Amino acid sequence: MFNIAIMGHGTVGSGVVEVLTKNHAGIAAKAANEINIKYILDIRDFPDLPYSDKFIKDFDIILNDPDVQVVVEVMGGLNPAYDFVKKCLLAGKSVVTSNKELVAAKGGELLEIAKENNLNFLFEASVGGGIPIIRPMSQCLAANEIIEILGILNGTTNFILTKMIDEGMSFDDALVLAKQLGYAEADPSADVEGKDACRKICILASLAFGRHVYPSQVATEGITKITSVDVAYAAAWGGVIKLIGKAVKLEDGKLDCCVAPMLVKNDNQLSSVTDVFNAIVVRGDATGDVMFYGKGAGKLPTASAVVADVIDCVKHVSARKYLFWDEGYTDYVIDSDQGEAAMYVRCKTADSAEAATVIRDTFGNVEFLFCKEAPAHEITFITPKGKISEINKKLKSLGALLEVIKTMRICE
Amino acid sequence: MFNIAIMGHGTVGSGVVEVLTKNHAGIAAKAANEINIKYILDIRDFPDLPYSDKFIKDFDIILNDPDVQVVVEVMGGLNPAYDFVKKCLLAGKSVVTSNKELVAAKGGELLEIAKENNLNFLFEASVGGGIPIIRPMSQCLAANEIIEILGILNGTTNFILTKMIDEGMSFDDALVLAKQLGYAEADPSADVEGKDACRKICILASLAFGRHVYPSQVATEGITKITSVDVAYAAAWGGVIKLIGKAVKLEDGKLDCCVAPMLVKNDNQLSSVTDVFNAIVVRGDATGDVMFYGKGAGKLPTASAVVADVIDCVKHVSARKYLFWDEGYTDYVIDSDQGEAAMYVRCKTADSAEAATVIRDTFGNVEFLFCKEAPAHEITFITPKGKISEINKKLKSLGALLEVIKTMRICE
């Protein structure tokens, strides 16, 4: 029998108990050991559960119990999760977490402590919910050099964008619906402003390229400014708008990494990822594009990823998994306008015909977009691919004739 | 330094050498050991390679060299691969293979020998080329009960169908093009008749449900009878035709498993998998649908999957991976007409109006399909979902009025 403790009994925590209970026999066979939940840590009371006797409120009970070799952290948030996880690792306990905020901010440090103590610190559930991505990236793609990662990493924003695209809803109405369906929280800012996607691309980029990328280093833009008109222009171009997390390794070893709404062509696999689904494309030098797709959130998908990590810990209690990255450094991620992209540019202008001539003279081969939803006195186009700072400089040079309302990257 | 031997120097074998050479340092770091190719077994001569000195023609040299702890089998075919792999395992060497024919036919027996000898027998590359699928299924989804697997498992047929769908090519012309591009072999029967996809669904189903499914148990139908008219009817219905490998666990523990061309709705993720790409949907009780997508074949993608397994063997030379299934039994897979599906039915009839009435009386709520490519005197419809044997019985009861030309399953 193998004792574990679970810290947190919210959505994911209760899901972990459910999965461990429901698939008990199959899990014991796969772990080659029976897994027993010895403690559940939560500040709240849960008097009416069949396992109410397992609840404790004092973290030190877990910390000081040598019987507990694996601790599951599903509290979320940085504090006290960071303090608790660090203490567990220092006390010789392996840790499994679904906490993307923790891993994105402190993953490098915690992996280092785990390595020094020959323990596992696993976090499959922190990205993509139930989609296997951390382990395939670290193991299956071990023989590849990863060139780029592109992903739809947040289900809430993807749901909202899908409703805007498929049903012509406004952002506000789609957000209200997402809240009604339980896909968006009362305070949806972490989702709609891209912070959640930012944490996930940080974790993926850190793992893929071997060095910690901190959320503060990644230019992050949400979807709150996307309107039905942008959606219509994108359709006219033959694509859709998706919130994309992107990380590309550059020749000098630095990264181009950002989160932003981008235009995705309809023949790109990512364009058909709708509703609350997530998808992550990993571009390897040998494999080419490999995509992982599924529900990126939800109680049972996330819990099943946590439990898979627990099984791995139990099976390999004395053998560390290869999962590691070095600390980051200040200018490891380039400024976002130093990256390259073709850009969607939407402008106001009093004279469309003259504006079109000036745009062509400035950018060369552009593609103008027309749609019936376009407001009067607007001109919208796609620039050729170039350094974003150069494109911005050219846009400024257009002078009084054109007022830029919005720009977005084209996703390749 | 860790010595390995490679058996076979064809496309995949030479790719394995290339990946091991090109990404040597990164691989050594991940394996925590330097990997050295000691022998390459091939009956042919390769006098002009930088590593020509490694070639041997006598398998016993590998078998009798205690320095070689991991053997890579990339010869393909059942013989002599089966004999060689079995001898290697019995001699205490772990084996990595990309050979789907071998794993589909003999996987259960070889896994048993590996288990008895505490060795690894790994075959990530046997399904989906460079797409990580075997390891995620066995590990990441360990906390799930898998309910169903659905996949586009053969790139050649998917390329041919894509050309028929997108460019209106005939099957014959698309096959010629596939040969010209190197996607189809001179004898394309293993691909176009579904045998290759059959081997892969056997491997996936064996792993997912824990018991060997043999290719001979799986009703297999290729794409040679699909015509442009079928493609047009499918488009009229709002979908495409794809060659699908499917395995579903039934309540009594048996499997419904088949390979056949099926109609896939345009809102199904599998419909957008085009060209030589493969995709596998794994339906779990906790994760819901998870999809893995990428190039299912090709030298470097397949080689990178082989090398990832080699890295795993080297890292875990004394720790067996959990990868196992029991032997199968005779009626483990139900007869294919005992499964359930809605069906596409194409008939000849002299009297469409009367035929429609009879069809409605027999099947109830059917959907008739109309397209401008439809030949005269045809009536085509989609039946409600039901047991296929029952649908066939009803079709027979339609009598002289209707001559069934073709039926296909609807993919759910």
* Residues of B with Cβ-Cβ distance to A32 under 8 angstroms: 322
**Residue A119's closest CA among A139, A97, A96, A89?**
A89
Which of B115, B144, B277 to probe by mutation at the A interface, max A CB count within 10 Å?
Answer: B144
DSSP state of A333: B
Rounded-to-integer distance, Cα B121 and Cα B92, Å: 11
User: How far off is chain B from A373, nearest CA to CA, in Å?
Assistant: 26
Please report where in the chains the tokens 């050479």 appear, as a residue: B21
**Residue B260's closest CA among B152, B399, B167?**
B152
CB within 8 Å of chain A, chain B residues 262-291: 269, 272-273, 284-291
Q: pLDDT tens, A356-409?
A: 999 999 999 999 999 999 999 999 999 999 999 999 999 999 878 899 999 999
Rounded-to-integer distance, Cα A47 and Cα A26, Å: 29
The low-confidence residues of chain B, meaning pLDDT below 50, are none
Rounded-to-integer distance, Cα A136 and Cα A404, Å: 42
Active site residue B200: yes
Per-residue confidence (pLDDT) for residue B185, from 0 to 100: 86
**CB contact set of A100 (below 8 Å; sequence gap of 6+):** A123, A126, A127, A196, A199, A200, A203
Banded model confidence at residue A140, pLDDT cuts 50, 70, 90: low
Q: What is the DSSP string of B265-285?
A: ETTSGGGG--TTEEEEEEEET
Q: Which residue of A has its CA nearest to B318?
A: A319
User: How far off is chain B from A200, nearest CA to CA, in Å?
Assistant: 18
CB A169 within 8 A of CB A213: no
Taking 90 as the threshold, does the pLDDT of residue A323 lie above it? no
Please report where in the chains the tokens 């990644």 appear, as a residue: A218
Rounded-to-integer distance, Cα B110 and Cα B103, Å: 8
Q: Which residue of B has its CA nearest to A134?
A: B140
Sign of CA dihedral A235, A240, A246, A249: negative
Whether chain B has a CB inside 8 Å of the CB on A25: the answer is: no
DSSP state of A124: G
**Pick from A293, A307, A308: CB nearest B291:** A293
The 3-state DSSP class for residue B40 equals strand
Per-residue confidence (pLDDT) for residue B69, from 0 to 100: 95
Burial of B87 by CB count in 10 Å (0-12 exposed, 13-18 middle, 19+ buried)? middle
Burial of B45 by CB count in 10 Å (0-12 exposed, 13-18 middle, 19+ buried)? exposed
* Residues of B with Cβ-Cβ distance to A33 under 8 angstroms: none
CB B251 within 8 A of CB B206: no
Rounded-to-integer distance, Cα A227 and Cα A233, Å: 10
pTM, full prediction: 0.92
Q: pLDDT tens, A197-236?
A: 999 999 999 999 999 999 999 999 999 999 999 999 999 9
Q: What is the DSSP string of A363-410?
A: HSS-EE---TTPPTTEEEEEPPSEEHHHHHHHHHHTGGGEEEEEEEEE
Q: Which residue of B has its CA nearest to A282?
A: B294
**Checking DSSP bridges between strand A239-249 and strand A146-152, what pairing results, if any?**
antiparallel
Residue A7 forms beta bridges with which residues? A41, A73
Per-residue confidence (pLDDT) for residue A322, from 0 to 100: 65
Banded model confidence at residue A142, pLDDT cuts 50, 70, 90: confident
Q: What radius of gyration, in Å, describes the C-alpha atoms of chain A? A: 23
Rounded-to-integer distance, Cα A382 and Cα A364, Å: 11
User: Tokens in use for A361?
Assistant: 């003279």
Q: pLDDT tens, A46-80?
A: 999 999 999 999 999 999 999 999 999 999 999 99
Q: Which residue of A has its CA nearest to B306?
A: A143
Residue A39 forms beta bridges with which residues? A5
Q: pLDDT tens, A229-256?
A: 999 999 999 999 999 999 999 999 999 9
Burial of A197 by CB count in 10 Å (0-12 exposed, 13-18 middle, 19+ buried)? buried
**Residue B38's closest CA among B84, B76, B70?**
B70
Q: How many CB atoms lie within 10 A of CB A369?
A: 22
| Interface contact flag, A300 B316, Cβ < 8 Å | no
| Interface contact flag, A141 B27, Cβ < 8 Å | no
Taking 80 as the threshold, does the pLDDT of residue A281 lie above it? yes
**Pick from B26, B135, B145: CB nearest A26:** B145
Whether chain A has a CB inside 8 Å of the CB on B25: the answer is: no
**Residue A279's closest CA among A289, A36, B62, B101?**
A289
| Interface contact flag, A305 B143, Cβ < 8 Å | yes
Average pLDDT on A274-285 reads 94
Name the catalytic one among B200, B242, B246, B321: B200
| Interface contact flag, B304 A141, Cβ < 8 Å | yes
CA distances (Å), B345 to each of A347, B171, B192, in order? Answer: 53, 20, 22
Per-residue confidence (pLDDT) for residue B259, from 0 to 100: 98
CB A377 within 8 A of CB A349: yes
User: How far off is chain B from A354, nearest CA to CA, in Å?
Assistant: 39
Q: pLDDT tens, A333-367?
A: 999 999 999 999 999 999 999 999 999 999 999 99
Whether chain B has a CB inside 8 Å of the CB on A386: the answer is: no
User: How far off is chain B from A55, nearest CA to CA, in Å?
Assistant: 23
CA angle B406, B147, A123 (to 5 degrees): 130
**Pick from A143, A295, A308: CB nearest B141:** A308
Distance of CA B64 to the CA centre of its chain: 34
CB B241 within 8 A of CB B165: yes
Banded model confidence at residue A32, pLDDT cuts 50, 70, 90: confident
b/e per residue B200-231 (b: at least 16 CB within 10 A): bbbbbbbbbbebbbbbebbbbbbbbebbebbb
Name the catalytic one among A54, A93, A106, A200: A200
**Residue B3's closest CA among B396, B310, B339?**
B310
Whether chain A has a CB inside 8 Å of the CB on B160: the answer is: no
User: Tokens in use for B137?
Assistant: 């299924």
| Interface contact flag, A23 B269, Cβ < 8 Å | no
Q: Please state, for a pLDDT cut of 70, what percent of chain A lies above it.
A: 99
| Interface contact flag, A294 B295, Cβ < 8 Å | no
Residue ranges and CATH numbers for the domains of chain A are: 2-129+299-315 (3.40.50.720), 135-295 (3.30.360.10), 337-410 (3.30.70.100)
CB within 8 Å of chain B, chain A residues 135-154: 135-136, 139-145
**Pick from B273, B303, B311: CB nearest A286:** B303
Q: ipTM exceeding 0.95? A: no
Per-residue confidence (pLDDT) for residue B207, from 0 to 100: 94
**Checking DSSP bridges between strand A146-152 and strand A94-97, what pairing results, if any?**
unpaired
* Residues of A with Cβ-Cβ distance to B290 under 8 angstroms: 130-132, 292-294
CA distances (Å), A242 to each of A407, B10, B217, in order? Answer: 14, 42, 44
| Interface contact flag, B288 A295, Cβ < 8 Å | yes
| Interface contact flag, B136 A141, Cβ < 8 Å | no
**Pick from A269, A310, A322: CB nearest B30:** A322
CB B264 within 8 A of CB B270: yes
